[in-house]
């Protein structure tokens, strides 16, 4: 299928071509016709599938077709709500790119920066507004935003939105929307609370499932390295020197952890920058653009900060710490292997994190290959799956470790090994 088959307007076709896209991705093939018909949509798709264009292109087409000359630049006609500022900026960039020949305007608003520039843009009037929830409500309360004029509402990354505690903000936003509207909801995973939200928000939606819920991108080659806590830093340095030699995104659980990793890498002559919520918006943008341009090879990020990162050709993701929410793993590794490109996801796991790791494998329905050939293997094999050498013939069938702290680890069939 080509973009011509999707009945796009000449302005949109021209933009898609100038972006260098030749064929629509599966989610675009399925979602664009549904959205262009004016139907509500429930999209289960992870980032990297071309999701943004799947909603931005048909929205632009709808707005372009029904635009009245005197309607332009007055009322907000489409609103996209997304959980992080990085993602909001990226979506706005996409609307600008796909809409550049339509004459439609957009602006992006998010917290953590002064509101002045944002209110100036809003006063001028925009067709499409991209917003994070807090700043949207803040500016709506101050009277800068009227949501009653909306024709299309998009709730993007809904699962992440709830994970980040935005449920009350989301409900408040929904209460400000006009009853007559078209609504699109996208989520990488479909846990029950998202299904409830979708039921309350969407009218007779068509559902598009691009990957089974919680599956990982097939193009991402995954592996796990078991080690001990004390060796984690050295193993990371080793992986960055031997395995992940190109642009690499390293995930930590905490902001403090991210800063610590930057220092450790600096001591080993690996230049890295961190991106997390404690950094100023400017510092985050700076770190991100250095990473995108290749000036910085390694970016250290927390989950929330990394959510909107879209780096073409990101070759490796390293999980320096295993996330305790399994879905987070899917989001993390979805940073690489985007739009069909090959990517690798390496995870460093200690015995303390093993329970979380097993939950991840359960969620993704795969057993990730274990790399044993590295300089920092664990010396506590009982904490992990059986070591590579064959178990002795005296292997005990009965579990060996019965104390509570070990209860969740697989039992070593050969305790003397
Ligand atoms: P997204 O899932 O929206 O974050 O998009 C992931 C990446 O795929 C972005 O870098 C887009 O520019 C790119 N992309 C989106 N649609 C296409 C397409 N039809 N062909 C090639 N690349 C695309």
SS3 at position 375: coil
Q: Which atom of ligand 1 is nearest to the CA of 25?
A: 19
Task: Output the CA 21–ligand 1 centroid distance in Å.
Answer: 8
Please tell me the least confidently modeled range out of 23-27, 59-63, 260-264. Answer: 23-27
Task: Output the CA 49–ligand 1 centroid distance in Å.
Answer: 6
Please tell me the least confidently modeled range out of 125-134, 179-188, 252-261, 374-383. Answer: 374-383
Task: Output the CA 267–ligand 1 centroid distance in Å.
Answer: 36
Residues forming a β-bridge with 155: 81, 185
Tens of pLDDT along 65-110? 987 655 555 799 999 999 988 899 999 999 999 999 999 999 999 9
pLDDT at site 341: 62
Cα(284)–Cα(362) distance, integer angstroms = 34
Average pLDDT taken over every residue of the chain: 85
Q: Which atom of ligand 1 is nearest to the CA of 94?
A: 12
pLDDT at site 401: 38
Which residue's CA is minimally distant from atom 12 of ligand 1?
50
- The answer to whether residues 414 and 391 touch, using CB atoms and an 8 Å cutoff, is yes
Mutate to test the pocket of ligand 1, among 52, 54, 56, 211 (most ligand atoms within 8 A of CB): 52
pLDDT band (50, 70, 90) for residue 407 = very low
Structural tokens at position 53: 């264009």
Res. 314: pLDDT tops 90: no
Phi, psi (rounded to 5 degrees) for 363: -65, -45
Nearest of 13, 46, 54 to residue 30 by alpha carbon:
54
Mutate to test the pocket of ligand 1, among 26, 29, 50, 340 (most ligand atoms within 8 A of CB): 50
Q: Which atom of ligand 1 is nearest to the CA of 339?
A: 8
SS3 at position 317: strand
pLDDT band (50, 70, 90) for residue 254 = confident
| Averaged pLDDT for residues 192-201 | 91
Nearest of 266, 249, 350, 265 to residue 303 by alpha carbon:
249
Task: Output the CA 298–ligand 1 centroid distance in Å.
Answer: 22
Task: Output the CA 44–ligand 1 centroid distance in Å.
Answer: 16
Specify the residue for token string 């013939």.
Answer: 393
Task: Output the CA 216–ligand 1 centroid distance in Å.
Answer: 17
Res. 332: pLDDT tops 90: no
Does this model's pTM top 0.85? My answer is no
Which residue's CA is minimally distant from atom 17 of ligand 1?
50
Cα(26)–Cα(51) distance, integer angstroms = 9
Task: Output the CA 160–ligand 1 centroid distance in Å.
Answer: 20
Residues forming a β-bridge with 186: 43
Task: Output the CA 112–ligand 1 centroid distance in Å.
Answer: 27
pLDDT band (50, 70, 90) for residue 303 = confident
With a Cβ cut-off of 6 Å, ligand 1 is lined by 21, 24-25, 28, 47-53, 310, 312, 338-339
Cα(273)–Cα(164) distance, integer angstroms = 24
Structural tokens at position 189: 């995973």
pLDDT at site 275: 87
Q: Which atom of ligand 1 is nearest to the CA of 21?
A: 20
- The answer to whether residues 256 and 300 touch, using CB atoms and an 8 Å cutoff, is no
263 contact partners, CB below 8 Å, separation of at least 6: none
pLDDT at site 402: 33
Task: Output the CA 48–ligand 1 centroid distance in Å.
Answer: 6
DSSP 153-200: EEE-SHHHHHHTT-HHHHHHHHHTS-SS-EEEEEES---HHHHHHHHH
Phi-psi region of 65 (alpha: psi -120 to 50; beta: other; left: phi over 0): alpha
Q: Which atom of ligand 1 is nearest to the CA of 45?
A: 2
pLDDT band (50, 70, 90) for residue 173 = very high
User: Cα Rg for the chain, rounded, in angstroms?
Assistant: 23
Tens of pLDDT along 30-61? 999 999 999 999 998 877 778 999 999 999 99
| Averaged pLDDT for residues 175-192 | 92
Instruction: Break the chain down into helix, strand, coil percent, rounded to 5.
Output: 40, 15, 45
CATH class, range 3-209: alpha beta
On whether the 220-383 domain is CATH 3.40.430.10, my answer is: no
* DSSP H or E run through 107: strand 106-109
Please, what's the largest Cα pairwise distance for the chain? 84
**382 vs 346, residue with greater confidence:** 346
- What is the residue extent of each domain of the chain? 3-209, 220-383
Residues forming a β-bridge with 209: 44
* DSSP H or E run through 272: strand 272-275
Which residue's CA is minimally distant from atom 5 of ligand 1?
50
**286 vs 408, residue with greater confidence:** 286
Q: Report the percent of the chain where pLDDT is more than 70.
A: 84
Q: Which atom of ligand 1 is nearest to the CA of 47?
A: 2
Res. 380: pLDDT tops 70: no
């Amino acid at each position: 299928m080509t973009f011509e088959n999707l009945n796009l307007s000449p302005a949109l076709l021209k933009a898609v071509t100038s972006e260098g896209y030749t064929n629509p991705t599966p989610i675009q093939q399925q979602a664009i016709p549904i959205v262009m018909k004016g139907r509500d949509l429930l999209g289960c798709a992870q980032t990297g599938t071309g999701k943004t264009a799947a909603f931005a292109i048909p929205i632009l087409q709808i707005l372009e077709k029904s635009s009245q000359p005197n309607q332009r630049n007055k009322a907000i006609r489409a609103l996209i709500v997304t959980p992080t500022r990085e993602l909001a900026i990226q979506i706005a960039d996409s609307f600008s790119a796909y809409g550049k020949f339509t004459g439609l305007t957009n602006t992006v608003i998010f917290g953590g920066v002064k509101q002045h520039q944002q209110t100036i843009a809003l006063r001028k009037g925009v067709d499409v507004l991209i917003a994070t929830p807090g700043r949207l409500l803040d500016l709506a309360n101050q009277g800068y935003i009227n949501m009653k004029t909306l024709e299309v509402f998009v709730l993007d990354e809904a699962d992440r939105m709830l994970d980040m505690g935005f449920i009350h903000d989301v409900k408040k936003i929904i209460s400000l929307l006009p009853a007559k509207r078209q609504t699109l909801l996208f989520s990488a995973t479909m846990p029950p609370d998202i299904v409830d939200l979708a039921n309350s928000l969407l009218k007779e939606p068509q559902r598009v499932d691009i990957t089974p819920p919680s599956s990982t991108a097939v193009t991402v080659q995954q592996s796990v390295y078991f080690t001990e806590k004390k060796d984690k830093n050295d193993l990371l340095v080793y992986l960055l020197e031997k395995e992940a030699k190109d642009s690499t995104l390293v995930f930590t659980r905490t902001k403090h952890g991210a800063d610590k990793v930057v220092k450790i890498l600096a001591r080993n002559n690996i230049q890295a920058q961190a991106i997390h919520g404690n950094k100023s918006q400017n510092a985050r943008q700076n770190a991100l653009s250095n990473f995108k341009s290749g000036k910085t090879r390694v970016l250290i990020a927390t989950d929330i900060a990394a959510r909107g990162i879209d780096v073409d050709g990101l070759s490796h993701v390293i999980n320096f710490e295993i996330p305790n929410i399994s879905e987070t793993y899917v989001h993390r590794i979805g940073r690489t292997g985007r739009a069909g490109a090959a990517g690798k996801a390496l995870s460093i796991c200690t015995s303390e994190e093993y329970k979380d790791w097993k939950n991840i494998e359960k969620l993704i329905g795969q057993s990730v290959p274990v790399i044993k050939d590295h300089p920092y293997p664990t010396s506590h094999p009982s904490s992990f799956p059986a070591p590579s050498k064959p178990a002795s013939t005296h292997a005990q069938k009965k579990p060996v470790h019965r104390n509570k702290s070990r209860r969740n680890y697989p039992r070593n069939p050969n305790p003397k090994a």
